[in-house]
Chain A
Amino acid sequence: MTSIETTGRTVEEAIEAGLDKLGVEKENVNIEVLEEASRGFLGILGTREAKVRLEVIFTPEELAQEFILKICECMNLKVDISHNKKGEYHHFYLTGEDMGILIGRRGDTLNALQYLVNLAVNKKLSKIGARARIIVDIEGYRKKREKTLERLAMRISEKVKKTGTKVVLEPMNAQERRIIHYTLQGSKDVETYSEGDDPYRKVVIAPK
């Protein structure tokens, strides 16, 4: 848990200074008063600034969940969110009505959502020197897409093997390209590489 110590002429000022430094709201910290301010004798002798310790209590999970919920609220979507952590990845699973809107064509909207959630959460976390990777899935879309891409990779690699000519797939994001590369990694017959620039970067499956 990250904490900082700040000083000020009063306890309130010390807290304000600390919140400013951390860039967080009062509800995101535990406050411990280390030293009360003292005016000293006649304002000269023994003046002492107030000293407080602020301990940040937000976690990547809380930040991500809060942001996702706010977005859904703005879009008038009722969602249930569950969450688990696998290694350095925080996975969020969204279910609810009208979730197709939040997935979008080929997962475009879902990917935009995941991208912005990562940016927003890491912006806050960077202030306490932390980082998190967040994966958002809606109604099992990513799992299904993963299976689809694996099947696609196998099918195209068979075709490439048979015809001996390379095939360029449609543009995909890094996560999806990785699935294709990964699926065909051990193939004796084909090799894979990416070409072009995001967001139009494509995987090429070519004969070895």
Chain B
Amino acid sequence: MKEFVELLARALVDNPDQVAVNEVEGEKSVILELKVASEDMGKVIGKQGRIARAIRTLVKAAAAKEGKRVVMEILH
């Protein structure tokens, strides 16, 4: 799941080497904390959060296949 968020984020930002994802595993849910370079924040959030929403939608679909609940947070 971590790799998935990394793949998506790296494809969107100007500084792919500064993309980092931290996976915090809970009992039923997984929290994925996405960090990108500060100038890339807009690239993973988008106008009115449209990009972030699209990433979340895909990650949720991937997680659902494995019977997990995923929360993705963008840290700054």
Contact = CB atoms under 8 A, between A and B. Distances in A.
- Bound pair (A, B): yes
Interface string A88-115: 0000000000100110100011011101
B4 A108 contact: no
Contact of A116 (B51, B61, B64, B65): B51
Given A116-B8, A116-B11, A71 B48 contact: no
Given A101-B61, A104-B61, A70 B51 contact: no
Interface string A153-190: 00000000000000000000000000000000000000
For the residues of A in contact with B, the DSSP-based class is: helix
Interface in B5-26: 7-8, 11-12
Interface string B44-62: 0000101101110110011
A116 B58 CA distance: 10
Interface in A57-76: 67, 70-71, 74-76
A33 interface: no
Contacts, number: 56
A89 to B, nearest CB: 20
B58 A120 contact: no
Per CB-CB distance, the 6 closest pairs between chain A and chain B, nearest first, are: A120-B11, A112-B57, A112-B54, A74-B4, A75-B62, A109-B61
B11 A113 contact: no
B3 interface: yes
Contacts of A71: 4, 7-8, 58
